[in-house]
Amino acid sequence: MQNLKEKIQKLKLEKNAIILAHYYQNDDIQEIADFVGDSYYLSKVAKECMQQTIVFCGVKFMAESAKILSPEKTVLLPNIESGCTMAEMINGEDVRQLKKEHPKAKVVCYINSTAEVKAESDICCTSSNALKIINKLNSDEIIFIPDKNLGGYINEKAHVKNMILWNGFCRVHEFVNVDEIMKVKNEHKHIKVLVHPECNKEVRKLADFIGSTGGIIDYVKKDTDEKYMIVTEEGILYSLRNNNPNKQFITPKTPMTCCSMKKNTLNDVYESLLNKQHEVTIDENIRKAAHKCLIAMHEMAR
Ligand code: 13P
Ligand code: SF4
């Protein structure tokens, strides 16, 4: 294992590459990454980094977003099967149909979407900046795709006159057991429940804090309490435990595991650097349209 990690570091330098990893990646991948973060932070790093090659340890839409923002760079997704199931719940034709039905609406798409869907949208958002973006848009009619939970959560705060939601969701976050959270809350008097906005309303209602993966990491770092229930994908525990060795983290009994995120292995990262696999390519017309949507987010979220 150590040998493989050393080989990766050596190849990375030889190839002038950078390794980015999402908080949900396997621990050993987070350990060797140059940057670990949430989807907004990683898209910023991908846009601004100097290296010619980006090895994106995350899911496909994340690597695609890096390529949309930096077409001159080589973007590699170590395991080609790591796709986000939520992103596949809507396609370009669905968005065109929605726009026909609501011609005056602004289309806001969650970054968890394909390049084709971004190309049909006005602006992108992540869970860390969605509220800011919807507030700044100041529009009476918004089509929010594809996550009904993030869209619903944002609308509870922003009160858009007509928020049209798509019925997309994340399987990892949608089916969390509410009774289990209640039980943990009852058993541990001073526990704080931290929830990702991809969770459904019943779960969000029990939260002390709702935020992106990066938001949850920051919250725990600054907070003075000691015990937390973490209601998001379990990969986040690697950073939470490393940053807060004296704090205690409890997770739902049924593990919240994103199988797509876990597909990338250290060996895939090594192969990826060695054989330039799997290189992300996007049709140039789609890329240009999707670029406008992502850049609009980066400008508005500043
Ligand atoms: P973050 O933007 O919070 O990193 O979330 C990405 C994601 O896929 C959550 O399921
Ligand atoms: Fe997609 Fe859910 Fe996995 Fe996030 S946790 S990448 S939304 S399937």
Q: What mean pLDDT do residues 97-124 have?
A: 98
Whether 211 and 41 have beta carbons less than 8 Å apart is answered as no
Q: Is the pLDDT of residue 279 over 80?
A: yes
Least distant ligand from the CA of 23: 1
The CATH number given to whatever domain includes residue 93 is 3.40.50.10800
CA 14 to ligand 1 centroid distance, Å: 31
Q: Is 72 contained in some domain?
A: yes
pLDDT at 288: 98
**Ligand 1 atom closest to the CA of 211, numbered from 1:** 3
Answer yes or no: do 69 and 113 share one domain.
no
Answer yes or no: do 60 and 200 share one domain.
no
Q: Which domain holds residue 198?
A: 176-250
Per-residue pLDDT of 24-71, as tens digits, reads: 999 999 999 999 999 999 999 999 999 999 999 999 999 999 999 999
CA 301 to ligand 2 centroid distance, Å: 22
Answer yes or no: do 96 and 234 share one domain.
no
Percent of all residues in the chain with a pLDDT value above 90, rounded to a whole number = 98
Q: Is 145 contained in some domain?
A: yes
Ligand 2 neighbourhood includes 112 CB (under 6 angstroms): yes
A 10 A CB-CB count for 214 gives: 21
**Ligand 1 atom closest to the CA of 38, numbered from 1:** 4
**Domain count within the chain:** 3
Answer yes or no: do 78 and 91 share one domain.
no
Q: Identify which of 261, 46, 256, 112 has the alpha carbon closest to the alpha carbon of residue 171.
A: 256
Q: Is the pLDDT of residue 163 over 80?
A: yes
Answer yes or no: do 8 and 140 share one domain.
no
Question: DSSP string spanning 40-85?
Answer: HHHHHHHHH---SEEEEES-HHHHHHHHHH-TTSEEE-S-TT---T
Ligand 1 neighbourhood includes 213 CB (under 6 angstroms): yes
CA 13 to ligand 2 centroid distance, Å: 30
Selected residue with higher pLDDT from 206 and 189: 206
pLDDT at 183: 95
CA 77 to ligand 2 centroid distance, Å: 16
Answer yes or no: do 97 and 68 share one domain.
no
Look over the chain and give the mean of its residue pLDDT values, rounded to a whole number. 97
Ligand 1 neighbourhood includes 170 CB (under 6 angstroms): yes
**Ligand 2 atom closest to the CA of 259, numbered from 1:** 3
Q: Is the pLDDT of residue 2 over 90?
A: no
Answer yes or no: do 162 and 291 share one domain.
yes
Q: Is the pLDDT of residue 5 over 90?
A: yes
Q: What confidence category does residue 112 fall into, taking pLDDT thresholds of 50, 70 and 90?
A: very high
Burial status of residue 3 (CB atoms within 10 A of its CB: 0-12, 13-18, 19 or more): exposed
Q: Is 256 contained in some domain?
A: no
Q: Is 255 contained in some domain?
A: no
Question: DSSP string spanning 184-205?
Answer: HHHHSTT-EEEE-TTS-HHHHT
Answer yes or no: do 10 and 75 share one domain.
yes
pLDDT at 233: 98
pLDDT at 238: 98
Answer yes or no: do 229 and 295 share one domain.
no
Q: Is 276 contained in some domain?
A: yes
Pocket test for ligand 2, best of 38, 59, 117, 128 (most atoms within 8 A of CB): 59
Spatial distance between the Cα atoms of 14 and 11, rounded to a whole number of angstroms: 5
Q: Is the pLDDT of residue 123 over 90?
A: yes
Least distant ligand from the CA of 168: 2
pLDDT at 125: 98
Q: Is 33 contained in some domain?
A: yes
The mean-pLDDT minimum among 23-27, 126-130, 187-191 falls in 187-191
Q: Is the pLDDT of residue 1 over 90?
A: no
